[in-house]
Structure 1
Amino acid sequence: MKKQIQYITIIGILGWGGVSNVHAQIKEEKLILNRNREPEVKKIEKKKTSIAAEKNYPPKGKDSLRYKITNIPIVSDFKTSTIAGEDISPQFKADSHRNYFQIGYGNYGKFLFDGNVSGQLKPNLEVGADVHHIDTSGLKKDYTWNSKQQTTEAHVFLNSYGTKGKLNIDTGLELNGFNYYGNYQKVIQPKAQAELKQNFTKVGVNAYYDFYANHYLNDIRLKTSFTKDHFNSKENYYDLNLNLSKHDFQISFEKEIKLNTNMGVGIQGVNTQFDLLKKNESRHFTANFTPEFTLFKGNHYLKIGSRFTVLSSQYQSLSSDKSTESKWHWFPTAELLIAPKDEVKFYAGVNGGIKLNTYSDLLHDNPFLVSDLLLRPTETKYHLYFGVKGDIEQNFKYDIHGGYSKLNNILFYRSNNLFSFNSGDLRPTYDYLNTFSTFYDHGNLSDVSISVAYFPLENLNLSGEFKYMSYALKNFDHAFYKPIIQTTLGAKYSLLNKKLDFGFKGILVTDRKANAFYPELATPDLETYTTNEVTHKKVAGYADLNLFAEYKIHKNISLFAMGNNLLGKSYQSYLGYKVMGAQILGGVKLEF
C-alpha cells in the first residue's frame, strides 16, 4: 500500500508540474549535476542524540557528544537556465561516491561534460579537480546569424585539516563564449555572416582558513579574480576578511545569559578598465569594521552591532577627467529572535552596507552588456526586516519575511541606443540595438518572501518560494528588468530502492518594464538613422518547467535525462533575446 501511495504521489507531482514552464536562455543554459563547487550550507540544525556533556567527560576513546546533522535548505538549490546553474537531481543518498564524470547530448546541438575527481595524499590532506563544459549551436531556425554559445569551467582545490583549523584553497578558470544575437526590430539587422561574438575569461584564487575554536581567531577569507573580455576590458578584484571572536561569556548577574563578541575587519577592492567607446574606468576600495555583540538566553537572542565603512572611488573616461570621492559610512546592525518553540520563531532586525558592482558579476547576470559601463557601488542605507519561521515536526519548514530598504545607486539595465547612425553594412558587433548598459537611481525597495519545504515521505521533498519586490525610484518610473513577482515550485522524489530519481522545477515570473529604441531612416540616400525611444516597453512574463530523471543500472553507472523549457515557449528574459524551445538532453554518468 505504501508503494502505491508513493507511485500516485509522483504521478500527481508530474501532472501538477505540467502547467508551469522553464527558463532556457541560450547564454545562461548551464547544467550543474550532482555537485556544488562552492558548497553553501543554507541551514544546519544540530540535535543532541546521546549523552550530555560533563566535566572531564568522555572517558578516553569515547566521543563526548554525538550530533545528528541535517542539511535541509529552505528552498531547493536547483537553478534554472537564466539564473546560471541547475541541479534537480534528488540527493537522498548518504553513501554517494566522491568521484564521477558524466557526458550528455541533446537537441540544439547541446553537449555536456561534467566531472569531479579527488583523493587523499595524506590522512589530513586532500586534493581534487572538477571540470564543467556545455555548449549549444543556438537558434539556427530563428536567426540567420550566429547564436551559438559555450561555457567551460575548471577548478583545482586543496583541503588540509590541521590541529587548530582547516584550510581550503580553490583555483579556477572560467571561459565563456557567446554572441550578441538579440535583435528586436527589422530596420537594422545583422547580415548572416556578421560577427556578433563576445567572450570573457575569468581566473581566480579563493582561500579560507577556519579555526576550530572561536577564541579570538575565528576565520580568514580571501577571494581574488581577474576578468578580461573580447574587447580588451580588464578587471581585478580582491576581498580579504579577518573575523575575530570570543564566545560564551557568562553574565555574572544571570548565569543563563551568555554573551558572544565578534569583530570583522576586511578590505575589498575592484579596478575596471574598458577599452571601447568612452573608455570608462573605475576604481573602488572599501575598508570595513564590524563590531558585534550577541546575548543568548535559551533559544532567544539579541544581536547589536555596527558596520563602519570607508569607501574611496575614482572615475575617468574620454569625456571626463579623473574624479575622486571618499566618504565614511555607518550602518546599524541589530537582530532580535524570540523562539518560544521550534514551530514558531519571530525575528526582526536592521542592517545595511556597500556592495561593489563588478563587471564580472554583471556579465553572469546579463551577458549582453556593452563593454563600456559606468560602475558605481550600491549603498543600502538601511534594510528593515521582520518575519516568522519555524520547523513543524521536522518535516515542514517555513520562513515568511518582509522588508523595507532605502538605497542609493540602485543598479538596473537599459537598452542602448545606436552608437553610430550611419550605414549598417560595417556596423560593429554591439551596434544593432542588441546590448544593454547600467543605469542608477536612488529609491526604496519593499519586499516580501515566503519559503517552504515539506517532506511528507522519507524520499520525497517538496519546496516552494514566493518573492514580491517593488521599487519606488526618485527619477525613473520603473526599475527596468526587475520583475515584481517570482514564484518557484520544486520537487525531488526517489523510488525503486533509490535506483530511480525524479526532479521537477517550475518558475513563474511576471511582466517586466523595459525601454526600447526604434530606428527610422533620416537620409535614405546616405542610409543614416534616427531613433525614437519607448520607455514603457513590456517584456512579457513567463512560466518555465524543467524535469529530470536518473536511473541507476549498476552501482557505478547511471543513465539520466533532462528536459528544459518543456512547454517550448520562446519567451525573452532580456529584450530581443529569445530563449531556446523545448530541450531534451540525455547521457550517462559513471561514479567511482
Structure 2
Amino acid sequence: MKKYALSITIAAAFFAHQANAQEDKDKKNKGVGTEVVNVTSEYQATLNDAFKINDNPLIEDEDINQKKEVKYTIFSVPVASTFSPAKGEAAKVDNDSLAKFYSNYALFGFGNYNTIRGELGIVETIGSKNMYVGGLLKHISSGGGIENVQLDDSFSKSNLDFTLGQRNENNQWNTQFGAMTSKYNWYGTPADFFVSNFNFDLVDPLQKYNDVHIGASYESYIGAFEKIDARYKYFWDDYSSKESRFVVAPKFSVELPNNTVYINLEADYVNTQFANNGIDNLVDTYSHLNLSANPSIKFFDADYSLELGAGLTYILGKEQGIENNSLVIYPMVKANFNLVPNIVQAYLGAVGGVQQNSYADLADQNPFLAPSFVLRPTRTNYDVYAGMKGKLYHNLSYNVRANYKNEDDKAMFTINPYNINLQNKQGYQYGNSFGLIYDKVTTFTLFGELNFDFSGKAQIGLSGEYNSFNLDQYQNVFHIPQGKINVNVLYNFTNQWFADANLGYVGQRYEFSGAPISSMNDDIKLGDFYDLNVTVGYRPTAQWTIFAKGLNLANENYLRFNQYQVQGLQVLGGAIYKFDFK
C-alpha cells in the first residue's frame, strides 16, 4: 500500500505528483524569569497531515534527503507523456501557496481523447483536540483512440481514501481506509497480426484491477519506542487472480549524549494466487514472508554524521508449492560531512535490502501484465554510493552522485510471445501482455542535477542520469533506460499568470528477443524518446485557478513499453476551486 501525501497546491493538481513537504518543528516554550508563558492554539489540519506522517531528522542526512527513484508513466492524461523529474517531483508553480489558506479543493479537467480528470480533497479538524478527518477522491479516464491501434485502448482509474488522525504533544496517530478500481486494455498486439489479416474481433482485451486497503500509524516523541506502521491490502483482477499483503514495521531509537541507537524491524507478507493460465490448467501460487532487522548506531555533531549498522532479512518463500528460503545480510552504513557549513556537503554509504515484489505494485507500474507470471523478491546485496551537494551561488544548488549496486533476482518486464497453437486464448494471450524475467544485475550509475531559483519568479531544474549494466544470464536489461535527462522551467509572469515547461528524455531501452543467449546481441531495440509538456495557468481570484495543459507537444508516437504506442499530442483544460467549510 502506498502512503498518500496529498497537497492542495496547483502543482500537485497539474502534475499528479505527491508532495513531500517537511513538517515544521515544534517551538519550545521559553521561560521569562520564574514565570513560564504557554501559548496554545488550535491545530489546523491540512491534507498533508491527513495522508502523511513525516519523520523529523536529527540532522540533514543525505539518506533522508536523497532523491526519489525516477518514475515514468505511460499515461499522461491519459497515456504517457509525463516524465517525472529525477528529483522526484516538480517544483511548485504556484509560489503564492494559495492552497495553504484553504483546507479543501476540487479539480475538473477535460481534454482530447475524451479525457476526463476529477479530484476532490477535503480535510477538517474535529473539535479542539487536534483531531482531523479527511478524504480524497481521484478519477482519470480516457476514451482512447491511438492511431493505428486495432484494439480498444481506453482506460479509467478511480481512487477513494479516507483518514482519521490526531496530533498530540507527545505522540500522533493516523488511520486510513481506501479502495481503488481501474480498467485497462491489452491493446499492444504484435505487428505480425497486421500482415496476416488477423481477426481482432476474436480478442477481448479488457482487464480490471481492484483493491481495498487499510492502514494505521502511531508515532511517539518520547521514550525508546519511536513509530509503528501497519497496513493491509487485498488486490484482485478480472481473471480471478488475487493477492493479500500485510506489512508491520516497528521502529525504536535510544538517544545517547553523542549518538543514537536505532533498531528497525519489519515483517512483510504477500500471498498471490494467479489465474488459470490456460496452458497447463494450473493455478500458480506464490507466498513470501520477509522478516527484517536493521540495527544501527549513529554518531553526529554539527559537522558530520556517521551511521554504522547492518541489515538481515530472512525470506520464507513458497513458489508453486516448492519452498525457497534464504537469508540476506547487507550493510547499512551512511556518512555525511559538512565540508563547508551550509555550502558543501559530502556523503557516502553502503546499504542494501530486500524488495517485496507484489502483483499490485507491478500492475501499477505496468498495467499490461498477464495475470500469471513468476513472482519473487529482489535482493539488493549492496548499493555503494558517494556524492557531493551544495551551493555554487546563493540561488544555484547542485548534487552529484555515483552508485554501484548489486541485485539478485532483479525483475524486468518482457512481452509474452504469441503462441498460434494455443487453443481458447484469453485476452492477454495474443502476444499483447507482459511477464517477468529475473537476473543478477550490477548497475553503475552517475547522477547529477542543478537547480536555479530566481527569488520565486522563476525556477529551473536540470537533471541527468547514466546507467551501465552487467547481467549474469542476459545481454541487456529490459525496459530500463540507459540514460535519462530532464529539464523543468517554472515561471510566474504575474501574481495571476504562470507557466511550467518540462522536457524529458529517455535513452535506449531493450526488449528480450526470446532467442537463446549468445555472444550476439539480438535483443529488440525500443529506441530513445523525448517528451515535451507545457502548462499555462491563470488565477482570477484566490480561490479559482484556470489551466490549460499540453502533453507530448512534439507528437512523438514512441513506445513506452514494447508494442505499446502512446497517445500523440494531448490538450487538457480545466479549473481548480479551493474552499473552506468553516
Tell me the TM-score normalised to structure 2 length.
0.83
Corresponding position of 2:200: 191
Deviating more after overlay: 284-293 vs 136-145: 136-145
Residue identity matched to 2:489: A
Residue pair 2:184, 2:368 contacting (<8 A) in 1 also: no
CA contact (8 A) 1:140 1:146 kept: no
Q: Distance in 1 between matches of 2:439 and 2:332?
A: 24
Provide the residue aligned with 2:498 in structure 1: 501
Per-residue Cα deviation, 1:70-117 (whole angstroms, up to 9, x for no partner):
9x9887999764378878661412442221111111111111111111
Change (3 A) 1:224 1:56: farther
Between the aligned partners of 1:479 and 1:244, the Cα distance in structure 2 is 38
Provide, for residues 110-143 of structure 1, a one-character-per-residue CA deviation record: whole Å limited to 9, x for no partner.
1111111121122211111111111111125422
Is it true that 1:211 corresponds to 2:220 in the alignment? yes
- 2:13 match: 33
Q: Which residue among 208, 213, 235 is the counterpart of 1:227?
A: 235
State yes or no: 1:438 paired with 2:436.
yes
1:560 to 547, 557, 568: 547
Which of 125, 137, 143 is the matching residue for 1:137? 143
1:82 to 74, 81, 85: 74
Unaligned runs of 5+ in 2: 1-10, 41-55, 77-81
Query: What residue in structure 2 maps to residue 267 of structure 1?
Result: 267
Residue 259 of structure 1 deviates from its aligned partner by: 0.8
The answer to whether 1:356 aligns with 2:359 is no
Equivalent in the alignment of 1:298 = 302
1:405 aligns with 2:411: no
Cα distance in 2, alignment partners of residues 167 and 36 from structure 1 = 26
Structure 1 partner of 2:333 = 334
Alignment partners' CA distance in 2, 1:51 and 1:120: 23
- Tell me if the contact between 2:248 and 2:268 (Cα under 8 Å) persists in the aligned partners: yes
CA distance in 2, matches of 1:504, 1:357: 34
Partner of 2:38: 61
Among residues 165, 172, 190, which one is paired with 2:171 in the alignment? 165
Give distance in 2, aligned partners of 1:438 and 1:369. Answer: 9
Q: Structure 2 counterpart of 1:458, which letter?
A: G
1:550 is the counterpart of 2:537: yes
2: CA distance between counterparts of 1:58 and 1:241?
42
Deviations 1:207-226 (A, max 9, x none): 2222224x301111112211
Q: How far apart are the structure 1 equivalents of 2:536 and 2:301?
A: 46
Letter in 2 for 1:33: A
1:145-183 Cα deviation digits (max 9, x unpaired): 311111111111122112421112221211110100002
| Contact 1:173/1:202 (<8 A) preserved | yes
- SS for the counterpart of 1:493 is strand
Distance in 1, Cα, partners of 2:369 & 2:322: 24
Aligned partners of 2:163 and 2:177 also within 8 Å: yes
Letter in 2 for 1:339: N
The structure whose Rg is larger is: 1
Q: Give the aligned partner of residue 465 of structure 2.
A: 467
User: Structure 1 residue 33: deviation in Å?
Assistant: 1.1
Q: Which residue number in structure 2 is paired with residue 110 of structure 1?
A: 115
Q: How do 1:243-392 and structure 2 match up within 5 A?
A: 243-247=251-255, 249-250=256-257, 258-277=258-277, 278-316=282-320, 322-341=321-340, 342-392=342-392
Q: Which amino acid in the other structure matches residue 82 of structure 1?
A: I
8 Å contact from structure 1 (residues 489, 506) kept in 2: yes
Q: Secondary structure at the match of 2:362?
A: helix
Q: Give secondary structure in 1 for the equivalent of 2:523.
A: strand
Letter in 2 for 1:559: I
Equivalent residue of 1:348, what SS?
A: strand
- Measured at CA, do residues 515 and 162 of structure 1 come closer, stay the same or move farther in structure 2, by a change above 3 Å? same
CA distance in 2, matches of 1:305, 1:312: 23
Q: Residue 575 of structure 1: CA displacement?
A: 1.2
Bigger RCO of structures 1 and 2 (CA < 8 A, at least 6 apart)? 1
Give the 3 Å change call, closer, same or farther, for CA 371–190 of structure 1 in structure 2: farther
1:128 aligned to 2:125?
A: no
Uncovered stretches (5+) of structure 1, i.e. residues with no partner: 1-30, 251-257, 317-321, 519-532
Name the Cα RMSD after superposition. Answer: 3.2
1:500-579 map, 5 Å: 500-516=497-513, 535-579=522-566
User: What does the per-residue CA deviation read over 1:511-550, in whole Å, with 9 as the maximum and x for residues that have no partner?
Assistant: 21113579xxxxxxxxxxxxxx995111011000111122
Moved more, 508-517 or 408-417: 508-517
Percent identical residues:
20
Contact 2:215 2:232 in 1 (8 A): yes
Q: Distance in 2 between matches of 1:551 and 1:230?
A: 42
In structure 2, do the counterparts of structure 1 residues 102 and 443 end up closer, same or farther at CA, with 3 Å as the change threshold?
Answer: closer
Task: Look up the SS of the partner of 1:364 in the other structure.
Answer: helix
- Number of equivalenced pairs: 523
**C-alpha separation in 2, matches of 1:372 and 1:58:** 69
CA distance in 1 between counterparts of 2:34 and 2:68 reads: 40
Instruction: Name the residue aligned to 1:23.
Output: none
Which of 205, 210, 226 is residue 201 of structure 1 equivalent to?
210
User: How far is the alpha carbon of 1:553 from its aligned partner?
Assistant: 1.6
